[in-house]
């Protein structure tokens, strides 16, 4: 299989909803980003990486809820995520789910912004009892967005930062590596017709011709 | 080029006094604003159409017919007439009647409406909003152009041998603008018929509307109505002015901060940077409005939103004085300078009548 040319570097964007400084979520994001970049390099496709810290956009996200459009700083973050070849989505667990800030950022994205985009799901929490939150809240959210979520989600509880695995569980490093390998494989193998964004401008102006559109209304179940 | 005002007709408490006008006061205020618009030399007054509180204008042609009787020059229009939930037969009749009473001084802007419950209240489904807009207008377009119509569509009962009365004044259908803030299907619809396209750009950044207007202009040319720069474009604007811009900001800020559409969100300064809202001196409004031409090309109609968010009527009338005396005369001169002759003015009844006299009857 051919690999993307150097002129079309893959874009890996991580979204971190961590609020603390320092933040455990950001710590996890940085390890996942580094591991994914490393594995992509093995595919000959070292990516351009970027981390979107939602805390920096907290006011803009609330404003976008009110006005219906993202302000200029947030717009750049939204466009980076929508244009990414792979996304790492990471949130702390708040009240049995992703944080409100994380969900509000997702709500600002267009419904189709992540359709077909490989996404690695990650979360942090106080105890490992929250770990299935990745499966029962995060994965359905990204299923709705028609993202290509990689099979391994990475949950890091407080204990994980100071523990190895046991006979039943891989330790954090091995889970990170497995998930990063999956994301790198999805990204490197992803078809990119016309280059990453080659046809975006043409698509922007595409319309269904009027008479064809009007005829659709008449068809059974049409419109 | 035409300049005017458009009103949503909201009943909103004044954030300084916490008092809301009664519906009666608000309706009378809309009339005063329209009369003032003519008095200060503006060209157009347009009213919204709403079927839920806190809005009063549910019956645009009643309001506009009354204003028509009390004005001599003003063009009366809508922003917007709901083409989704109104029966297109009734739109054809109501607006033809208005056209006769107003001696042709009217046009209308069609829109879908974005209030979910209005659709079921009128027996419609919001998920079919675009389809309703397209099919209903296809019928409306025929009702004004064909004396006898046979029709069968998806959304309304069929018509056999139906004649909408009265027939349009002088056989000239009212000019139609298609209003949209989002849908390229509506831009395509406007282009297909060679109608006007009004992009209500006041609440969002310009890039979005540049794309919509570009689509409309290119498709207008595709359908053989002229070159892209001859398409008929209208834009919104939202301003508050005082001679000293700091005074304007100080006075308008509480209204901005509590406004129904964007209040309690971004700061006035942030919103001004992102949208056409201009709170400042008349010169700032002039500069900002002239920039629209750079973004969207030469255009035909500029409507300002002046009376919302609880601004007292006295303030709105003062704003119209400033608009009419200090802003619009400069805008007229500046927009006229460098405007190619090939760019048409907004169609009026008189211009459409003259054009019809030149062209052989297509039927």
Give tens-digit pLDDT for B232-260. Answer: 999 999 999 999 999 999 999 999 999 98
Q: What is the average pLDDT across A129-146?
A: 97
User: CB distance from A193 to chain B under 8 Å?
Assistant: no
Q: B185–A207: do the CB atoms touch at under 8 Å?
A: yes
Contact residues, chain A, for B154 at CB < 8 Å: 217-218, 223
Q: A210–B265: do the CB atoms touch at under 8 Å?
A: no
Q: What is the average pLDDT across A141-154?
A: 98
Sequence-ordered list of residues with C-beta below 8 angstroms from that of B319, at least 6 positions apart, any chain: B239, B240, B241, B306, B311
The domains of chain B are located at 2-358
State the pLDDT at residue A169. Answer: 75
Q: Say which residue the tokens 């400069």 belong to.
A: B330
Least confident of A23-37, A40-54, A79-93, A203-217: A203-217
State the pLDDT at residue A221. Answer: 59
Q: What is the pLDDT of residues A149-195, one digit of tens each?
A: 999 999 999 999 988 777 777 799 999 999 999 999 999 988 764 44
Return the HEC string of B51-106: CCCCECCCCHHHHHHHHHHHCCCCEEEECCEECCCCCHHHHHHHHHHHHHHCCCCE
Alpha carbons A109 and A117: distance in angstroms, whole number: 13
B2-358: CATH number: 3.20.20.30
Mean of the per-residue pLDDT values for chain B?
96
Structure-token pair, residue B306: 């002046």
Strand, coil or helix: A157: strand
User: CB distance from A214 to chain B under 8 Å?
Assistant: yes
User: CB distance from A215 to chain B under 8 Å?
Assistant: no
Alpha carbons B343 and B229: distance in angstroms, whole number: 6
State the pLDDT at residue B363. Answer: 55
Q: Calculate what percentage of chain B has a pLDDT beyond 90.
A: 94
Integer CA distances (angstroms), B197 to A47, B96, B302, B342, in order: 43, 21, 12, 18
CB A15 within 8 A of CB A52: yes
Q: What is the pLDDT of residues B309-320, one digit of tens each?
A: 999 999 999 999
Candidates B132, B274, B275, B276: best to mutate against A (most CBs of A within 10 A) is B274
- pLDDT class of A220 with cuts at 50, 70, 90: low
Q: Look at residue A201 and tell me whether its pLDDT is greater than 50.
A: no
Q: What ipTM was estimated for this complex?
A: 0.87
User: CB distance from A217 to chain B under 8 Å?
Assistant: yes
Q: Which residue has the higher pLDDT, A161 or B27?
A: B27
CB contacts under 8 A, B 233-262 vs A, are 262
Domains and CATH numbers, chain A: 6-218 (3.40.50.360)
Candidates A58, A108, A201, A217: best to mutate against B (most CBs of B within 10 A) is A217
Which residue from B252, B300, B306 is spatially nearest to B279, judged by alpha carbons?
Answer: B252
In chain B the first and final C-alpha atoms are separated, in Å, by 32
Q: Look at residue A67 and tell me whether its pLDDT is greater than 80.
A: yes
Q: How far is A77 from chain B (nearest CA, A)?
A: 16
Q: Look at residue B110 and tell me whether its pLDDT is greater than 70.
A: yes
Q: Calculate what percentage of chain A has a pLDDT beyond 90.
A: 77
From the list B184, B191, B204, the residue facing A69 with the nearest CB is: B204
Distance, CA of A65 to chain centre:
20
Q: Which residue has the higher pLDDT, A219 or B302?
A: B302
Q: Calculate what percentage of chain A has a pLDDT beyond 70.
A: 89
Name residue B78's beta-bridge partners: B47
State the pLDDT at residue A26. Answer: 97
State the pLDDT at residue A218. Answer: 83
Q: Look at residue A6 and tell me whether its pLDDT is greater than 60.
A: no
Q: A69–B208: do the CB atoms touch at under 8 Å?
A: yes
User: CB distance from A208 to chain B under 8 Å?
Assistant: yes
Least confident of A61-75, A204-218, B330-344: A204-218
């Amino acid at each position: 299989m051919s690999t993307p040319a150097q002129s079309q570097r893959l874009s890996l964007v991580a979204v971190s909803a961590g609020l603390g400084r320092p933040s455990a979520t950001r710590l996890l994001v940085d390890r996942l980003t580094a591991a994914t970049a490393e594995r992509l390099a093995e595919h000959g496709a070292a990516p351009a990486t970027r981390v979107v810290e939602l805390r920096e956009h907290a006011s803009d996200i609330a404003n976008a809820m009110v006005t219906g459009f993202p302000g200029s700083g947030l717009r750049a973050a939204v466009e980076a995520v929508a244009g990414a070849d792979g996304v790492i989505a990471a949130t702390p667990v708040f009240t049995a789910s992703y944080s409100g800030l994380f969900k509000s950022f997702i709500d600002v994205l267009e419904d189709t912004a992540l359709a077909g985009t490989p996404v690695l799901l990650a979360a942090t929490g106080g105890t490992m009892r929250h770990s299935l939150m990745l499966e029962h809240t995060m994965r359905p959210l990204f299923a709705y967005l028609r993202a290509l979520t990689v099979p391994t989600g990475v949950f890091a509880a407080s204990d994980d930062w100071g523990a190895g695995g046991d006979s039943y569980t891989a330790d954090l490093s091995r889970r990170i590596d497995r998930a990063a390998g999956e994301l790198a494989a999805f990204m490197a193998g992803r078809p990119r017709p016309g280059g990453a964004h080659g046809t975006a401008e043409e698509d922007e102006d595409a319309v269904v011709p009027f008479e064809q559109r009007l005829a659709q209304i008449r068809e059974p179940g049409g419109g | 080029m035409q300049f005017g005002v458009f009103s949503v007709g909201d009943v909103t408490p004044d954030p300084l006094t916490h008092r809301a006008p009664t519906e009666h006061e608000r309706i009378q205020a809309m009339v005063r604003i329209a009369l003032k618009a003519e008095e200060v030399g503006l060209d157009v007054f347009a009213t919204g159409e709403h079927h839920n509180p806190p809005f009063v204008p549910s019956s645009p042609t009643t309001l506009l017919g009354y204003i028509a009787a009390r004005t001599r020059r003003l063009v009366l229009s809508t922003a917007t007439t709901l083409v989704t939930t109104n029966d297109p037969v009734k739109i054809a009749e109501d607006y033809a009647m208005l056209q006769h009473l107003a001696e042709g001084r009217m046009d209308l802007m069609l829109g879908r409406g974005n209030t979910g419950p209005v659709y079921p209240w009128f027996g419609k489904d919001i998920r079919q909003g675009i389809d309703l807009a397209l099919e209903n207008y296809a019928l409306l377009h025929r009702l004004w152009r064909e004396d006898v119509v046979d029709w069968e569509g998806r959304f309304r009962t069929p018509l056999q041998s139906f004649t909408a009365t009265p027939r349009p004044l002088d056989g000239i259908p009212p000019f139609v603008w298609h209003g949209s803030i989002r849908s390229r299907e509506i831009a395509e619809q406007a282009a297909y018929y060679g109608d006007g396209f009004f992009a209500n750009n006041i609440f969002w950044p310009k890039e979005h509307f540049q794309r919509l207007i570009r689509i409309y202009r290119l498709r207008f040319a595709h359908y053989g109505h002229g070159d892209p720069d001859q398409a008929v474009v209208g834009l919104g604007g939202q301003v508050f002015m005082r001679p000293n811009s700091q005074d304007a900001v100080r006075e308008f800020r509480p209204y901005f901060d509590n406004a129904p559409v964007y209040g309690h969100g971004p700061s006035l300064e942030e919103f001004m940077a992102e949208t056409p809202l201009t709170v400042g001196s008349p010169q700032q409004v002039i500069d900002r409005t002239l920039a629209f031409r750079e973004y969207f090309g030469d255009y035909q109609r500029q409507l300002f939103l002046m009376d919302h968010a609880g601004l007292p009527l006295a303030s709105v009338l003062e704003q119209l004085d400033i608009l009419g005396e200090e802003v619009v005369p400069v805008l007229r001169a500046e927009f006229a300078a460098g405007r190619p002759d090939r760019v048409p003015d907004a169609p009026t009844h008189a211009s459409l009548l003259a054009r019809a006299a030149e062209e052989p009857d297509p039927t």
